[in-house]
């Protein structure tokens, strides 16, 4: 591993720990720290990240395990769906790694990114959603029908995000720091 990969992995690990104490706010922190690696890669010059997609999937497992530990305190449908979604994503990560190692082409994509469209990380959205409901709507009862509805909504939202990142690759030509500078320039120009 490069020094840069080690620094990013440590930051991602530390950023995932709050979910063990505070499910909702900890999950939000972990997701924000997950995005921070894009900034760190732009700002650090410590050897780079050799294969970002593979590296990101593996360090994602750190926060996903802390999310899973947090969800094991839940019961019923919320817990069972969380475990199922976690396992589904693990199958996706393993499939992604296999496709990259075997250099298999899927839908014209040799990097394996297309496989991520088939295995979206709905688990993280589920955890945030259920943790938010438990915190802000403690009387909300998650029935099987409600769980199915929320799974459809969350899967659609996550699939759009996965498509934007891995299918259309809309952000591949941008550096995270450049996007922030552009937004800041645009916002400050209105004030």
> What are the DSSP E strand ranges found in the chain?
none
pLDDT at 105: 65
At CA 121, angle to CA 175 and CA 170, rounded to 5? Answer: 30
pLDDT at 99: 80
Beta bridge partners of 109: 106
Q: Residues of the chain whose pLDDT is less than 50?
A: none
CA-to-CA dists, residue 59 to 6, 21, 33, 64, 180, angstroms: 10, 20, 11, 9, 24
The two tokens of residue 96 are: 């992604």
| Domain locations along the chain | 3-188
HSE value, Cβ hemisphere, 13 Å, CA-based, for 4? 19
pLDDT in tens, 15-25: 999 999 999 99
From first CA to last CA, the distance across the chain in angstroms is 45
Nearest to 123 by CA among 157, 91, 85: 85
pLDDT at 140: 96
pLDDT at 25: 97
pTM > 0.75: yes or no: yes
């Amino acid at each position: 591993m490069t020094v840069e990969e080690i620094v990013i992995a440590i930051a991602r690990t530390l950023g995932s720990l709050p979910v063990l104490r505070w499910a909702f706010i900890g999950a939000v922190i972990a997701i924000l720290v997950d995005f921070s690696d894009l900034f760190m890669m732009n700002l650090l010059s410590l050897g780079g990240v050799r294969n970002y997609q593979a590296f990101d999937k593996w360090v994602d497992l750190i926060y996903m395990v802390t999310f899973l530990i947090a969800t094991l305190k839940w019961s019923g449908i919320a817990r069972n769906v969380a475990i199922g979604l976690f396992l589904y994503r693990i199958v996706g990560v393993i499939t992604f790694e296999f496709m990259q190692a075997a250099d298999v082409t899927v839908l014209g994509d040799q990097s394996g990114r297309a496989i991520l469209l088939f295995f979206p990380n709905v688990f993280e959205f589920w955890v945030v959603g259920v943790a938010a409901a438990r915190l802000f709507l403690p009387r909300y009862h998650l029935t099987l029908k409600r769980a199915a509805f929320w799974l459809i909504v969350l899967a659609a939202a996550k699939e759009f995000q996965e498509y934007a990142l891995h299918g259309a690759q809309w952000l591949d030509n941008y550096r995270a720091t450049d996007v922030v500078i552009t937004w800041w320039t645009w916002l400050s120009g209105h004030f």
